Amino acid sequence: MCGIAGVMTANGPPEEAVLDKLADALAHRGPDGRGRHVHGNVGLVQNRLSIIDLEGGRQPILDGQGNAIVANGEVYNYLELKADMAGQSFATGSDCEPPLHLYRHQGPAFARSLRGMYAIAIHDTAAGKLVLSRDPFGIKPLYLVEGAPLAKNGGLAFASEPQALIAAGQARPEVDSAALAELLQLQFTTGTRTIFKGIRRLAPGETVVAEAGCITESRRLPALPAGAPVEGSLDRLLDELDDVLTESVELHQRSDVPYGMFLSGGIDSSVVLALMARLNPRGVLAFTAGFPGTRVHDERAHARDLARAVGAHHVEVEFGEADFWELLPKVAAAMDDPAADYACLPTFKLAQEARKQVKVILSGEGGDELFGGYGRYRHAMRPWPLTKPMRRKGTFDGLDVLRAGITEHWRHGMKAAERAEAMPGRTRLQVAQAVDCADWLPNDLLTKADRCLMANGIEGRVPFLDPVVAAFAFRLPDHLKVRKGLGKWLLRRWLETALPAARPFEKKRGFTVPVGEWIKARPEIGQLVARQPGIAEICRPGAVEALFRGVGKETGFACWTLLFYALWHQRHVLGRIPSGDIFSELAERI
């Protein structure tokens, strides 16, 4: 797990000052070391969080034939890849070295052999090529600027975070209005376009080849298999589910440093707990967040029972109102590619606490998307005309808060994903799952986890988002995903035997962070939010104050979104480094 960045000019060497700024901006992602490769018109930098081969795995890694690699992430099947390369000598024990040798033999198709989460840059010095690749689910981020001001004739720059490209002068902090509309209405942005003009994401599964500072080739690996659902006997499918999940968790535990997990008490994290307990006879270290003194459901008691059932060491982390006011400026600063997801708050504090004991955390992201857990999937299964598009209503619809035209056409990106994923043979449920895997998963859930964990020097791993697990889960028949109003039916059935204390067929409460409750207690914050430059330019005069005075079930998330965006805009557009709590940041920076 690391931060990587680099430049490729049209001609001439890259500027050392630019490489320095890229590396400095990503220092939080890799506190354990820094590496650099400069050859011809290419420069690569890497900040390392050492997880595997702590001493020998420094990057860049060279293959002795002029090729160099820097990588962010983990290639979990690196031992199997090494075993398959008979006669190949390896300079390190790093999981990131096999992709370099694969590239030499397979070219840009090398990513087909990888099982893991990764953002990779390979410099092929003999061919004068720069190859960039991202894992199929988009677990690890990678951002790109084409035509960046690297030299008089242009070029390209890339980095693990867009803020590094801005800090190095390769892009300007200008907000893209269409992406802003999506952020306000959806809480995330879709596709490869980011909220910054000129900065795009490398798409999940995308591999590009650049020559002389221009992209000349692009290919993409799908995250999900093609084809209609495949039937099978319940006993056989339960056995196969056990096999694929066990193997995935075992691979995701490969580490030379201590690891633990985030335990919410829900189905997905309970599955991860059951498997880790099976594979770790010395016990599991599990971290759970709770919200004392609020009206939202506190998951700690149930998580505590689960931990006790498997003999896990359980760490409970309280997140209260004081944490909200204090930590949100830091969280917004970490979320340079913004997702207005209030789950970033407990994720950030859990990472702070976990870092005291571990460097790697496993979690249950992806279980809902692959096994059919969300309530919106049940709506998607209804026959026409009862079925309705997902996310058809935006956060600010009907509130009369935003200026005219701000959120016009905000569903264009979602519509594009819906069209792209409606492949022949797929059921309506599969299409809904695929749409979430295309945008919601990489651009909200995984971005949130990446930034909040990496800001605290923690590597996050997601064993559900494994190609073997996905190939099994996505093609399950609909009735084994959703049955009698319950999603993730087959997963629940497996968990009923593997960890009965989870009570998987009991109705579960959704995860909620009481941001509306905390904002309602301090309505004066509305005046401060309204006066922020980023808010004043998108909201009608007087509307923000009125919204915050009337915080309720329907308006609380809108208030949260504006508060988050006000702090995000301060840091990432105006360039102001946060140094205090929400009130001091908003009051002092007007």
pLDDT in tens, the chain (590 residues): 689 999 999 999 999 999 999 999 999 999 999 999 999 999 999 999 999 988 888 999 999 888 999 999 999 999 999 999 988 889 899 999 999 999 999 999 999 999 999 999 999 999 999 999 999 999 999 999 998 676 556 799 999 999 999 999 999 999 999 999 999 999 999 999 999 999 999 999 999 999 999 999 999 999 999 988 999 999 999 999 999 999 999 999 999 999 999 999 899 999 999 999 999 988 999 999 999 988 888 889 999 999 999 999 999 999 999 999 999 999 999 999 999 999 999 999 999 999 999 999 999 999 999 999 998 998 888 876 667 777 889 999 999 999 999 998 999 999 999 999 999 999 999 999 999 999 999 999 999 999 999 999 999 999 999 999 999 999 999 999 999 889 999 999 999 999 999 999 988 777 789 999 999 999 999 999 999 999 999 999 999 999 999 888 789 999 999 999 999 999 999 999 999 999 999 997 55
Query: Going by C-beta distance under 8 Å and a sequence separation of 6 or more, which residues neighbour residue 97?
Result: 57, 61, 69, 78, 90, 91
Task: State the architecture of 2-220 in CATH terms.
Answer: 4-Layer Sandwich (3.60)
| Location of structure tokens 């340079």 | 336
For residues 536-550, b (16+ Cβ closer than 10 Å) or e, as one string?
bebbeeebbbebbee
Residue 132 burial (C-beta neighbours within 10 Å; 0-12, 13-18, 19+): buried
Task: State the architecture of 234-390+411-502 in CATH terms.
Answer: 3-Layer(aba) Sandwich (3.40)
Query: Going by C-beta distance under 8 Å and a sequence separation of 6 or more, which residues neighbour residue 48?
Result: 2, 30, 32, 33, 34, 35, 57, 58, 59
Query: Going by C-beta distance under 8 Å and a sequence separation of 6 or more, which residues neighbour residue 571?
Result: 329, 332, 333, 577, 578
For residues 392 and 335, give the distance between their C-alpha atoms in angstroms, rounded to a whole number: 25
For residues 26 and 5, give the distance between their C-alpha atoms in angstroms, rounded to a whole number: 8
The residue count of the chain comes to 590
For residues 235 and 361, give the distance between their C-alpha atoms in angstroms, rounded to a whole number: 31
Q: Are 258 and 357 in contact (CB under 8 A)?
A: yes
Query: Going by C-beta distance under 8 Å and a sequence separation of 6 or more, which residues neighbour residue 484?
Result: none
CATH 3.60.20.10 domain extents, the chain:
2-220
Of 214, 284, 276, nearest in space to 41 by CA: 214
Rg (CA), the chain: 23
CATH 3.40.50.620 domain extents, the chain:
234-390+411-502
Structure tokens, 316: 């409970």
Query: Going by C-beta distance under 8 Å and a sequence separation of 6 or more, which residues neighbour residue 1?
Result: 29, 30, 49, 51, 72, 73, 74, 454, 459
Of 195, 69, 201, nearest in space to 131 by CA: 69
What phi and psi, each to the nearest 5 degrees, are found at residue 399?
-95, -15
